Structure 1
Amino acid sequence: METLKFKTNIKCSGCVDTITPYLDKVAGKDTWTVDLQSPDKTLVVKTGNAITSADVINALEKAGYKASNV
């Protein structure tokens, strides 16, 4: 299982609700979390699927958010 980490501009649970369909489609349901307490609002994706960092970043951009690799 691979773990990908990203610094994001996701700020609240409403933002998480917005990105959920995008990330679920790319990474899979229940494979990712956002640490809203972290100053970097870290997104962690744990997956066995063949997804890349670019796939996750593109999904977030489609949802209106930004991310960069940690």
Structure 2
Amino acid sequence: KNRPFRRLINFLHDSKVIDSSLFYKLISLNENRNRIVHLTNDYSKEDIEEININLQSMLIQFNEFIKNQP
């Protein structure tokens, strides 16, 4: 499991930097990413591409969010 990422998400949530909605999105994103790493053979190429696009879009949203913090 990717603990450092999970700890970061928890820290940001505890510090009220991110709200619960983003918190749960990031957690499910992280779990999906972990699943890909362990079960790549169970996913089609299209599935993996779609998940990667979702990951990138979440990352962009997250970066925008962080930039807009006071």
TM over 0.5: no
Q: By percentage of residues, which structure has more helix?
A: 2
TM-score of the superposition, structure 1-length normalised?
A: 0.33
Q: Which has the higher contact order (CA 8 A, sep 6+)?
A: 1
